[in-house]
């Protein structure tokens, strides 16, 4: 195991910013800690680097307990959001810093610096000063600086947060390629769900200091275990229901229960249907997809490649709002106008246990929470 | 800032007033002193500087200033660091207190030193004398120029994000290496500027130095207290000669400071770009 956290906690005063986080990260894995700002994800990362001391728990890097060690003795590579390149040093001197501290031979250092400059695709930039580089270039140098001394693990704290959208997308790809090439275990902290999906081998969802769940991106998106995960990762249509026998009942509409949900039998649940899994039609559809009822089109929005349609359900689910994303074909076929009555069906869905948490309202209220660029 | 060439009468008058003011206050005294020193030719000036007490006074001024300066350089740096990096109760008060030497009449500082370290003072010395001896002069020099280095470094240090040090720590640099290779190069110009400013202030100090040192000829007399004595003894050439020397030192310091300032400006541009 490359990184192992065992019940790590951190309190600021009486406030727990990280609560009993246990986590194991495989060698060579790129793990993304995803959470809103203030969720404790950065604090957790800084505890791994030794920049923050945990109040409880243990941290192991490659089997070595580093909980009490200062950052200098942990051998992690850390990339900061604001690059934090040393302003008075050239690009090459920045990259070389970790090697000169380790008293490597001048010749080896030079060679290593050139290797890294090639790796980050800035081979000719060694003699530049950091301020002569763009933000994206600076962050690549910061990455090279953190990789120069072959760190145990690579820790990235919102590394692309200060960059504009296009550069960000490009750097994500670069990072993923470099990380795989070197096989270095990495943790990346971000609040950007799209970024997480794109680079992560696995994602850990962190909320109010707690690691809610861990999984591969598609699993977390399609079959989350927590309502927070469902709403944080993209847009979620949540419909209150009850699982009985082999069906899930939305009022008196029965839809087949998804596999592996027997443990929710007899319980009040929520059906999670992603907007792209919602189908709308003027006539009652004759498909195998379960139809959940009728509604009135409230809004038709242009969303680039797709069409976003907001429908307010009528009848049994009076007031419930559902968001649908229609492909260009479907949008043309349906040709929806505001005020029209449509049938709503769900093509794929998952079940969530109804949470009785005080700050979550177990109502039929629409929980469309968009994050990142989708908003 | 938009610059304009003055055209209207009030604008031209304003420029003339400012220039006249500067000439009367800065240039005329300088010329008078030079004229006074060389009134009887070069020989009396050379005689003044060959006098053993005069040489001693100069030496005392320099050596004690350098000692006091090294103390202030270290503590000024530490004070700036603490004020920028640490949050503690009373920090704002402490921050304000640092400026006290700026506003204090320096003879008061000298008097306080006598009260504290005199023979009946709270910290009366047991081994070596402090008051009316070199240690007291060093102490007051430290006091009167205490804020300079701190105040020069503080704003520069403030522009360095803590991430900067943390980056060095994660890379493997210990605190000393981080200071020497990461922090110091950033604040170097500001530190030099503060040092030059402090040195100028220390060399020029008169009030506190004459109070605590007693201005004993050949012992605690400094360059500035020598000028006072010379003029009192109607040794005009002596007083003026020393004044000219101190003025030349000041001009050199001014030039050095201006050089540093432009370096400062360069690095400020560098920082705003970075």
Distance CA B69, CA B202 (A): 8
Contact list in A for residue B173 (CB cut-off 8 A) is 72, 97, 101
Does the pLDDT at position B129 exceed 60?
yes
Which tens digit of pLDDT belongs to each residue from A258-268?
Answer: 888 888 888 88
- pLDDT, position A162: 85
- pLDDT, position B1: 61
Q: Which residues of B touch A (CB under 8 A)?
A: 161, 163-164, 166-174, 177, 181-182, 185-186, 270-271, 273-274
DSSP string, A174-243: HHHHHHHHHT-EEEEEES-HHHHHHH-SEEEEEETTEEEEEE-HHHHHHS-SSHHHHHHSS--EEEEEEE
The pTM assigned to this predicted structure is: 0.83
Interface with B, mutate which of A71, A82, A141, A156 (most B CBs under 10 A): A71
Distance CA B177, CA B192 (A): 20
Which of B161, B170, B173 minimises the CB distance to A76? B170
- pLDDT, position A202: 97
- The helix/strand/coil state of A259 is coil
Does the pLDDT at position B265 exceed 80?
no
- Are B171 and A87 a contacting pair at CB < 8 A? no
Which residue from A3, A1, A57 is spatially nearest to A186, judged by alpha carbons? Answer: A3
| DSSP 8-class letter at A159 | T
Does the pLDDT at position B27 exceed 60?
yes
Alpha carbon of A106: minimum distance to chain B alpha carbons (Å): 17
Distance CA A120, CA A107 (A): 20
Interface with A, mutate which of B172, B177, B266 (most A CBs under 10 A): B172
Does the pLDDT at position A374 exceed 50?
no
Which of A71, A129, A149 minimises the CB distance to B169? A71
Which residue from A151, A147, A152 is spatially nearest to A1, judged by alpha carbons? Answer: A152
Which tens digit of pLDDT belongs to each residue from A216-272?
Answer: 999 999 999 999 999 999 899 999 898 988 889 988 888 888 888 888 888 889 999
- pLDDT, position A359: 45
Which residue from A234, A327, A299, A302 is spatially nearest to A272, judged by alpha carbons? Answer: A234
- The helix/strand/coil state of A249 is strand
Which residues does residue A293 pair with via DSSP β-bridges, in sequence order?
A344
Q: Which range, A125-139, A359-373, B254-268, is most confident? A: A125-139
Does the pLDDT at position A365 exceed 90?
no
Q: Which of A343-347, A353-357, B81-85 has the lowest mean pLDDT?
A: A353-357
Q: What is the mean pLDDT of chain A?
A: 90
Q: Which of A18-32, A154-168, A275-289 has the lowest mean pLDDT?
A: A275-289
Does the pLDDT at position A368 exceed 60?
no
In this prediction the ipTM stands at 0.84
Distance CA A311, CA A341 (A): 9
Q: Residue A240 in contact with residue A270, Cβ under 8 Å?
A: yes
User: Hey, what are A149's tokens?
Assistant: 């001394």
Q: Print burial letters for A338-365: b (CB count within 10 Å at least 16), e (below 16).
A: eeeebbbbbeebbbbbbeeeeeeeeebe
Does the pLDDT at position B119 exceed 90?
no
Q: Which residue has the tokens 């006072």?
A: B228
Does the pLDDT at position B160 exceed 60?
yes
Q: Which of A132-146, A170-184, B195-209, B258-272 has the lowest mean pLDDT?
A: B258-272
- pLDDT, position A356: 64
Distance CA B237, CA B40 (A): 8
Distance CA A267, CA B38 (A): 106
- Are A98 and B174 a contacting pair at CB < 8 A? no
- Are B171 and A70 a contacting pair at CB < 8 A? no
- pLDDT, position B272: 53
Q: What percent of chain B has pLDDT over 70?
A: 96
- The helix/strand/coil state of B164 is helix
- pLDDT, position B268: 58
> What are the φ and ψ backbone dihedral angles of A72, each rounded to 5 degrees?
-60, -30
Banded model confidence at residue A285, pLDDT cuts 50, 70, 90: confident
Q: Give me the torsion for CA of B67, B70, B73, B78, rounded to 10°.
A: -110
Distance CA A168, CA B193 (A): 41
Q: What is the mean pLDDT of chain B?
A: 89
- Are A86 and B274 a contacting pair at CB < 8 A? no
For B81, B86, B100, B202, the CA distances from B91, given in Å and listed in that order, are: 12, 8, 15, 27
């Amino acid at each position: 195991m490359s990184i192992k956290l065992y019940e790590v906690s951190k309190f600021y005063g009486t406030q727990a910013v990280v609560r009993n986080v246990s986590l194991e990260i495989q060698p060579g894995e790129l793990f993304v800690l995803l959470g809103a700002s203030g969720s404790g994800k950065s604090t957790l990362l800084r505890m791994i680097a030794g920049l923050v001391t945990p109040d409880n728990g243990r941290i192991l890097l490659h089997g070595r307990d580093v909980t009490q060690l200062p950052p200098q003795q942990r051998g992690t590579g850390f990339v900061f959001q604001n690059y934090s390149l040393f302003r008075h040093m050239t690009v090459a001197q920045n990259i070389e810093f970790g090697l000169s501290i380790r008293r490597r031979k001048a010749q080896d250092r030079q060679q290593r610096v050139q290797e890294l400059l090639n790796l980050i695709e800035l081979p000719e930039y060694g003699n530049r000063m950091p301020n002569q580089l763009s933000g994206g270039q600076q962050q690549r140098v910061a990455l090279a600086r953190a990789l120069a001394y072959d760190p145990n693990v690579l820790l990235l704290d919102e590394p692309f947060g200060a960059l504009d959208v296009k550069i960000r997308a490009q750097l994500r790809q670069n990072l993923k390629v470099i990380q795989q090439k070197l096989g270095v275990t990495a943790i990346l902290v971000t609040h950007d769900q799209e970024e997480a999906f794109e680079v992560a081998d696995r994602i850990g969802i962190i909320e109010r200091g707690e690691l809610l769940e861990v999984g591969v991106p598609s699993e977390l998106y399609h079959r989350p275990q927590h309502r927070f995960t469902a709403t944080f990762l993209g847009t979620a249509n949540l419909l209150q229901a009850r699982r009985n026998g082999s069906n899930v009942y939305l009022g008196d509409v029965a839809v087949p229960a998804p596999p592996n949900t027997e443990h929710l039998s007899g319980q009040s649940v929520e059906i999670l249907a992603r907007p792209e899994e919602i189908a709308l039609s003027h006539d009652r559809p004759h498909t195998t997809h379960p139809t959940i009822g009728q509604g009135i089109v409230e809004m038709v929005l242009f969303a680039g490649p797709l069409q976003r349609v907001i429908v307010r359900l009528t009848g049994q689910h009076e007031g419930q709002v559902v968001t649908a994303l229609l492909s260009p074909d479907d949008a043309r076929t349906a040709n929806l106008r505001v005020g029209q009555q449509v049938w709503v069906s769900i093509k794929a869905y998952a079940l969530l246990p109804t949470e009785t948490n005080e700050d979550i309202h177990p109502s039929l209220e629409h929980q469309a929470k968009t994050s990142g660029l989708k908003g | 800032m938009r610059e304009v060439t003055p055209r209207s009468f009030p604008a031209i008058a304003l420029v003339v007033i400012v220039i006249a003011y500067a000439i009367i206050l800065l240039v005329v005294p300088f010329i008078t002193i030079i004229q006074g020193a060389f009134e009887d030719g070069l020989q009396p000036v050379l005689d003044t500087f060959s006098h053993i007490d005069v040489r001693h006074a100069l030496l005392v001024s320099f050596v004690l200033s350098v000692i006091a300066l090294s103390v202030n350089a270290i503590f000024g740096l530490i004070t700036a660091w603490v004020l920028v990096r640490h949050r503690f109760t009373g920090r704002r008060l402490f921050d304000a207190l640092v400026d006290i030497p700026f506003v204090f009449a320096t003879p008061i500082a000298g008097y306080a030193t006598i009260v504290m370290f005199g023979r009946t003072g709270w910290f009366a010395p047991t081994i070596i004398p402090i008051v009316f001896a070199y240690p007291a002069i060093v102490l007051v020099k430290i006091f009167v120029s205490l804020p300079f280095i701190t105040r020069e470094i503080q704003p520069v240090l403030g522009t360095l994000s803590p991430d900067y040090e943390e980056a060095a720590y994660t890379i493997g640099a210990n605190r000393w290496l981080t200071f020497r290779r990461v922090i110091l190069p950033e604040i170097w110009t500001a530190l030099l500027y503060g040092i030059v400013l402090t040195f100028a202030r220390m060399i020029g100090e008169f009030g506190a130095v004459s109070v605590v040192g007693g201005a004993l000829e050949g012992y605690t007399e400094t360059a500035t207290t020598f000028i006072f004595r010379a003029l009192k003894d109607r040794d005009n050439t002596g007083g003026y000669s020393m004044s000219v020397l101190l003025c030349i030192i000041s001009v050199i310091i001014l030039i050095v400071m201006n050089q540093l300032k432009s370096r400062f400006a360069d690095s400020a541009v560098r920082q705003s770009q970075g």
